[in-house]
Amino acid sequence: MKRSWVFWLPVAVAIAMFATFLVALVRPSDRAIVSQLVGHALPAFEAPAAMPDQPGTNSRDYADGKPRLLNVFASWCGPCVAEIPVLLQLQAMGVEINGVAVHDKPEDLARFFAENGNPYARVGLDQGGRAQIAFGSAGVPETFIIDGKGRVVGQHIGVITEADIPDILAKLKGS
């Protein structure tokens, strides 16, 4: 029993782990992807309805001539809460905002909206983070500014604050 192959398992696990680290290190940095999306069409994605009374959203919703925001968020994400008042303010200014909730549950979202308000015209559920992968977004919250042709004209990583509103409005108007 003592000379069993079991004792070589840790070696195999360690080799696999280090090989992964090596690949992750030598791959070109992904931070460049962020800016590459700007100027291109929104990648194809599908986020089915998360709330009973609101439609979900997918990539075909965005080429109807109306510029809007696509906000990637989650009910379990603290900074997302901080962003909601600003989104509500944008909504009040007539900006249409669609939400994609990452790794979320409808009941958690319902509570999240009840506590913080719901600034979204459509809320899609992104189970497994696939839409998030398609957007190349590294975390939540993240917001894309999309023109009437469905092209990404701007990307905001992290919380949107009051100070970002003029810039966002300018990008929406310019598109």
Residues near other proteins, by CB under 8 A: 2-3, 7-8, 10-11, 14-15, 17-18, 20-27, 30-31, 74, 76-79, 81-82, 84-86, 89, 102-103, 115-116, 128-129, 132-133, 136-140, 161-163
Question: Using H for helix, E for strand and C for coil, what is the string for 50-86?
Answer: CCCCCCCEEHHHHCCCCCEEEEEECCCCHHHHHHHHH
Instruction: Answer for the pair 147, 67: CB distance below 8 angstroms, yes or no.
Output: yes
Whether a cis peptide bond, with omega within 30° of 0, leads into 79 is: no
Q: Which is nearer to other proteins, 41 or 82 (CB)?
A: 82
At its nearest, how many Å lie between other proteins and the CB of residue 160?
10
Give 26 or 65: the residue with its C-beta nearer to other proteins.
26
Q: In this complex, which beta carbon is closest to other proteins, that of residue 76 or of residue 121?
A: 76
Do the Cβ atoms of 139 and 147 come closer than 8 Å?
no
Nearer to other proteins, 53 or 162 (CB): 162
Phi, psi (degrees; rounded to nearest 5) at 99? -115, 140
H helical segments located in the chain: 9-26, 31-37, 78-92, 106-116, 130-135, 165-174
Instruction: State in angstroms the smallest separation of the CB of 70 from other proteins.
Output: 17
Q: How far is the CB of 149 from other proteins (least distance, A)?
A: 26
Least distance to other proteins, CB of residue 104, Å: 8
Least distance to other proteins from the beta carbon of 53, Å? 23
Residues in the chain: 175
Choice between 17 and 44, CB closer to other proteins = 17
